[in-house]
Structure 1
Amino acid sequence: MTLPVALAGNDVIGQAKTGTGKTLGFGLPLLERVIVPADVEAGRAKPEDLVDGPQALVVVPTRELCQQVTNDLLTAGKVRNVRVLAIYGGRAYEPQVEALRKGVDVVVGTPGRLLDLAGQKKLNLGNVRGLVLDEADEMLDLGFLPDVEKIMTMLPTKRQTMLFSATMPGAVINLARRYMTQPTHISATSPDDEGATVANTTQHVFRAHSMDKPELVSRILQADGRGLVMVFCRTKRTAADVAEQLEQRGFASGAVHGDLGQGAREQALRAFRNGKVDVLVCTDVAARGIDVEGVTHVINYQTPEDEKTYLHRIGRTGRAGASGIAITLVDWDDIPRWKLINKALDLPFDEPEETYSTSEHLYELLGIPAGTKGVLPRAERTRAGLDAEEVEDLGETGGRGRGGGRKAATTTVVEERPARTRAPRQRRRTRNGEPITAAAAAEAEAAVATAEGESATPSASTPAPRRRRRARVAVAAGAEAVVTTAETTEAPDRGETVPAPRRRRTRATVAADSAEAATAAPAEPTATSADDGEAKPARRRRRTRRTAAES
């Protein structure tokens, strides 16, 4: 239904269920609009029709979908040798810039990396004749809308624009018409497939406890006729945990989520396509557009956010006319969320049946052999596993998940230090140029350990520690003059006299005593202590620069 309208050059809004071939619905018209050297050689075009830069642009929301669409377009344009380039984050810039310099005809990319290269003048979008927004409802959502609008401003005004998605809300259609010219809305459905979901997909909904879910999933994975399985989780941490638990139970599992590096994500998806891994645990980054042949079961380990996410998740099975089974495990806390999804899609699962890993109806509905336990028998562990698939070095640009995630092979180079050629230098503790004896060190440590407020008895051989002197003291105006005296105190034990620390005169007292300092006698009589009758030394005055000038 899409090909005649799109080949005529009209704008198209295409809506169809998952697995019905939307990629080639927009891919073939794009490839026909592109002019390549093979067309000039065959006489279908003139040499001056060839242009520099890409002639078609496909914008997708996820990296995995970008890679898949690129492979599909390369296959379809192989005869005419159409050059298709995937541009997305998580890879090094240099190979993508080098490919753009050599020349490409079709660019498939995610919004972030497209804007980066276009802003650096590495990507020229001035000759784009056709634009496609794949998974358009996601592309025009609030998260991607600013980036999409920036890309729109870089494109020529005269172009063909096509939007494709399995779900197309009315608000998104109204928003899309701003960027399109008289678009044709094509909604393709089969006559015998009236519901929102694919008729070939059998759906089961169970109310399950979160602590019993790993055991329940492990028994479902041993059902008769089970092929490849995709397990969807809402959070990245849950996806990593479930993949690890399934691996411990003997299943060949891999994980795809945002915390992994791009190399590890592609490694897991590649191993899943090649059959080395038969259980792929992922978040919603793999819910849109991923097409893997042989997926028989889809398990919603956690209830999806809304009905659109539910449709895209279960659409990974039952593709291209094949049959599939979709199983949703609803926790008690997610019952209100599931009721909204059930009502929006008009499904008959408003009250999911309470189910545990030992429930009989679980075995009957899914064809699980009797006596099956939650650990895969060793005789059935025939898959090569994730480690059999090599991790490709992509020159990843981001720090998060760098190195490939779970069990990635990393090489650490340890440099050995050269052997010593001489004995290390021995250091000696000294004080005033003389080595410190053990007795002196012990005495110093004892002095440091003395509690604050206790009076320590100084030794005759060890000088008292030097007191820190403040260079400048701020005294309020009109403060009383402080007389500096040198007092003697008697040691209580030895009867020796120890001079007390001298107090310095402040700047404020200098002016008050300037007259007295000018007429003072060179020596004053000594004062006698009233307590012990001992003589005190004469009061000493300090000669300052200011008093010298005044005198």
Structure 2
Amino acid sequence: MTLPVALSGKDVIGQAKTGTGKTLGFGLPLLERVTVPADVESGRAVPEKLTNAPQALVVVPTRELCTQVTNDLLTAGKVRNVRVLAIYGGRAYEPQVEALKKGVDVIVGTPGRLLDLAGQKKLDLSHVRALVLDEADEMLDLGFLPDVEKIIQLLPPKRQTMLFSATMPGAVIGLARRYMSQPTHISATSPDDAGATVANTTQRVYRAHSMDKPEMVARILQSEGRGLAMIFCRTKRTAADIADQLAQRGFASGAVHGDLGQGAREQALRAFRNGKVDVLVCTDVAARGIDVEGVTHVINYQSPEEEKTYLHRIGRTGRAGASGTAVTLVDWDDIPRWQLINKALDLGFPDPPETYSTSPHLFEELNIPAGTKGVLPRAERTRAGLSAEQVEDLGETGGRGRKSAAPAAAVREERPARTRAPRQRRRTRGGTPLEATGTAVEPQTEDAEPQFQTAVPMDVPGSVERAAEPRTPRRRRRTRAGSGSASASETPAVETVAEPVLADPVVAEAVVAEPVVPEPEAEPVAKPRRRRTRAAKPAADAASTVETAAVTEPVDAPEAPVAETKPRRRTRVAKSVAEAAESAAVESADVKAEAPVAEAKPRRRTRVAKPAAEAVEAAATGEAPEAEAEALPKPRRRRTRTTAAKTES
């Protein structure tokens, strides 16, 4: 029905069910409108019409469909030697640019790469005589519409435009008329096939639980008479997961979805066509236009979004007069969506029966042998598998494509062995020696041997010494404070406080001028000088000693005023003086035994320090022991009381 209208040069809107030959419906008219050297030799065309620029353009939505249409047109135009080129993303630019320079008659491409090459002035579309939008409803959708409009603006105004698709909503037809001139709408249906779907396709719909779906699919794939099977999922992650699960169950499965590189996608589809893989798990990327001979089962693992997607999915089977089976698994959450699809297509499955992997009606309706389990028997694993198909190097663009094009095992083999050593060195920089973690210890069991070998490469010379070196700077930082057991948190505080005290000129005078302290008590006074670089408290105490010494120097000759004030203050702080003497005696013994502990305790005893006048008398009479003299110069917080005692004296 399409050929006479299309060959006359009129615009056509072609609509027919899946598997009815729409590719040749627009392909043959395109090949006839192209002028090739064979036409000049036969006298059907003049030499002036020959050109190396493309004369026909076919725009498709997916890369897989692009390669398929290209192969079909090459087969149809082989006799006339028509040059057909596929232009799509995910592969190198250079081969496509070189082919355009040599000359092309028909271009089949996706919108993105076509616009890219046209923007680089590598693609000339000014000589295009015919434009075809395959899967027109998808091409004129909101996602592709801006790109399609840009491509149409690059074409000459006088051209033939043809739109073909299995589903053609009214809104899309109205939108398409903007780019067409008096189009002829052709809708081809069989007399005995009044429904929207193909009559040769048997449809089964089941309500299934999401956790039981993998088991159900594994048993459906073992039904009698099954050939190639396609499983459609809604998301890319689900498609990859199901493909891995089926591979673990013994099925030769491959995956096609958007997260894979172009090389991996073509490898899976090529292995599926060649029979090395009999189960292809894919998203809606492969739902349109893919024609593989021998597909007997299509399984909708997840309910489609709309009725158009459902028609294109199940259209992968029952093509060109063959029969097929379409099984749809609807989850409880997808029942409202499925009811809308059922109503739009009038399928007759408004309420699917609840079905599990052990349901008897599942075995009966799909011809599954009794006793079938979810694992394929080893005797039936005869397919070569996806690994038997070589991955073609397409020079893919983008990091995601390069990673996914090569198998994971090949990536691990190409990685040099020495790249693992820096990881282990980073782990040992935390300060833990290799002997503590157990990585350098000789393994005692055979099972643990590969783990130790992969963790730390012992054959690398100097690896243990390099791993232990980073601990040395930490030890040096700890010993800079002068005390091996002092913590790192105390060290900076000691240094920052001690520096301004030592820089004070008054402190230097106070250290020299101490006339009140007798000779036997000179040793306790000298101890704070040695600890001055370790702790800030003795230095601060020295500053308070300067003030008390400066106050008591002019009063040391006449002792009578001091004697009058002594009884008053002894009655008030006698008990505190006795306690201070006892604690100082105990502390002096601790200082000799444990030097680090003695540095922290004198800071807390500054609460009950004595006035300067009492310190002078205690030193003269010898009432306080040696350790008490050590506690005398510490009342830093009670300078106001010392000032009051000074006025009374």
TM-score (normalizing by structure 1): 0.81
Name the structure 2 match of 1:510: none
Name the structure 2 match of 1:480: none
Name the structure 1 match of 2:535: none
Tell me if structure 2 keeps the 8 A contact 1:264–1:408.
no
Map 1:289-438 onto structure 2 (within 5 A): 289-404=289-404, 407=408, 409-410=410-411, 412=414, 414=416
Residue 488 of structure 2 aligns with an amino acid whose one-letter code is: V
User: What do the CA deviations read for 1:454-501 (whole angstroms, capped 9, x no partner)?
Assistant: xx5x8xxxx987569xxxxxxxxxxxxxxx984567798835497779
Residue 446 of structure 1: CA displacement?
2.0
Name the structure 2 match of 1:30: 30
CA distance, structure 1, for counterparts of residue 191 and residue 409 of structure 2:
48
Tell me if structure 2 keeps the 8 A contact 1:52–1:127.
no
CA distance, structure 2, for counterparts of residue 438 and residue 106 of structure 1:
77
C-alpha change, 1:356 and 1:495, in structure 2 (3 Å) is closer
CA distance, structure 1, for counterparts of residue 247 and residue 470 of structure 2:
57
Name the structure 1 match of 2:203: 203
Tell me if structure 2 keeps the 8 A contact 1:486–1:499.
no
C-alpha change, 1:235 and 1:427, in structure 2 (3 Å) is closer
Runs of at least 5 residues in structure 2 that lack an aligned partner in the other structure: 420-459, 512-523, 533-537, 542-548, 554-610, 616-649
Name the structure 1 match of 2:490: 450
CA distance, structure 2, for counterparts of residue 201 and residue 532 of structure 1:
110
CA distance, structure 2, for counterparts of residue 257 and residue 467 of structure 1:
71
Tell me if structure 1 keeps the 8 A contact 2:58–2:131.
yes
Map 1:151-170 onto structure 2 (within 5 A): 151-170=151-170
C-alpha change, 1:427 and 1:395, in structure 2 (3 Å) is closer
Q: Give yes or no for the alignment of 1:106 onto 2:139.
A: no
CA distance, structure 2, for counterparts of residue 208 and residue 322 of structure 1:
28
CA distance, structure 2, for counterparts of residue 78 and residue 429 of structure 1:
76
Residue 395 of structure 1: CA displacement?
0.7
Tell me if structure 1 keeps the 8 A contact 2:528–2:539.
no
User: Which one has the largest radius of gyration?
Assistant: 2
Residue 402 of structure 1: CA displacement?
2.4
Name the structure 2 match of 1:494: 527
Paired residue secondary structure (1:403): helix
Residue 532 of structure 1: CA displacement?
4.1
CA distance, structure 1, for counterparts of residue 210 and residue 461 of structure 2:
60
Residue 192 of structure 1: CA displacement?
0.6
Paired residue secondary structure (1:141): coil
User: What do the CA deviations read for 1:183-229 (whole angstroms, capped 9, x no partner)?
Assistant: 00000000110000001101000011111111111111111110000
Residue 204 of structure 1 aligns with an amino acid whose one-letter code is: R
Name the structure 1 match of 2:189: 189
C-alpha change, 1:273 and 1:211, in structure 2 (3 Å) is same
Name the structure 2 match of 1:127: 127
CA distance, structure 2, for counterparts of residue 529 and residue 37 of structure 1:
123
Name the structure 1 match of 2:172: 172
CA distance, structure 1, for counterparts of residue 115 and residue 552 of structure 2:
91
Residue 54 of structure 2 aligns with an amino acid whose one-letter code is: P
Paired residue secondary structure (2:231): strand
Paired residue secondary structure (2:108): strand
Tell me if structure 2 keeps the 8 A contact 1:363–1:369.
yes
Q: Give yes or no for the alignment of 1:149 onto 2:149.
A: yes
Residue 48 of structure 2 aligns with an amino acid whose one-letter code is: E
Tell me if structure 1 keeps the 8 A contact 2:498–2:539.
no
Name the structure 2 match of 1:474: none
CA distance, structure 1, for counterparts of residue 45 and residue 477 of structure 2:
99
Residue 439 of structure 1: CA displacement?
7.1
User: What do the CA deviations read for 1:134-192 (whole angstroms, capped 9, x no partner)?
Assistant: 00000000100000011011110010000000000000000000000000000000011
Name the structure 1 match of 2:448: none
Paired residue secondary structure (1:356): coil
Residue 39 of structure 1: CA displacement?
1.1
Query: More helix per residue: 1 or 2?
Result: 2
C-alpha change, 1:493 and 1:164, in structure 2 (3 Å) is farther
Residue 450 of structure 1 aligns with an amino acid whose one-letter code is: E
Tell me if structure 2 keeps the 8 A contact 1:487–1:500.
no
Paired residue secondary structure (1:448): coil
Tell me if structure 1 keeps the 8 A contact 2:90–2:262.
yes
Name the structure 1 match of 2:68: 68
Residue 151 of structure 1 aligns with an amino acid whose one-letter code is: I
Paired residue secondary structure (2:13): strand
User: What do the CA deviations read for 1:324-345 (whole angstroms, capped 9, x no partner)?
Assistant: 1000000111000100000000
C-alpha change, 1:440 and 1:84, in structure 2 (3 Å) is closer
Tell me if structure 2 keeps the 8 A contact 1:135–1:164.
yes
Aligned pairs, number: 486
Greater shift in the superposed pair: 400-409 or 20-29: 400-409
Tell me if structure 1 keeps the 8 A contact 2:35–2:50.
yes
Residue 429 of structure 1: CA displacement?
8.8
Tell me if structure 1 keeps the 8 A contact 2:481–2:491.
no
C-alpha change, 1:437 and 1:124, in structure 2 (3 Å) is closer
Tell me if structure 2 keeps the 8 A contact 1:486–1:500.
no
Runs of at least 5 residues in structure 1 that lack an aligned partner in the other structure: 431-435, 469-483, 502-525, 535-551
Tell me if structure 2 keeps the 8 A contact 1:260–1:402.
no
CA distance, structure 1, for counterparts of residue 477 and residue 31 of structure 2:
90
Residue 4 of structure 1: CA displacement?
0.4
Residue 108 of structure 1: CA displacement?
0.5
CA distance, structure 1, for counterparts of residue 5 and residue 409 of structure 2:
48
Residue 284 of structure 1 aligns with an amino acid whose one-letter code is: D
CA distance, structure 2, for counterparts of residue 71 and residue 21 of structure 1:
14
Residue 486 of structure 2 aligns with an amino acid whose one-letter code is: A
CA distance, structure 1, for counterparts of residue 48 and residue 196 of structure 2:
48
Map 1:265-280 onto structure 2 (within 5 A): 265-280=265-280
Q: Give yes or no for the alignment of 1:287 onto 2:287.
A: yes
CA distance, structure 2, for counterparts of residue 78 and residue 276 of structure 1:
28
Paired residue secondary structure (2:27): helix
The two structures, once aligned, show a CA RMSD in angstroms of: 3.4
Residue 98 of structure 2 aligns with an amino acid whose one-letter code is: E
Name the structure 2 match of 1:505: none
Residue 35 of structure 1: CA displacement?
0.6
Residue 448 of structure 1: CA displacement?
2.9
Tell me if structure 2 keeps the 8 A contact 1:234–1:303.
yes
CA distance, structure 2, for counterparts of residue 492 and residue 255 of structure 1:
85
Tell me if structure 1 keeps the 8 A contact 2:52–2:102.
no
Tell me if structure 1 keeps the 8 A contact 2:30–2:56.
yes
Q: Percent identity?
A: 75
CA distance, structure 2, for counterparts of residue 446 and residue 414 of structure 1:
45
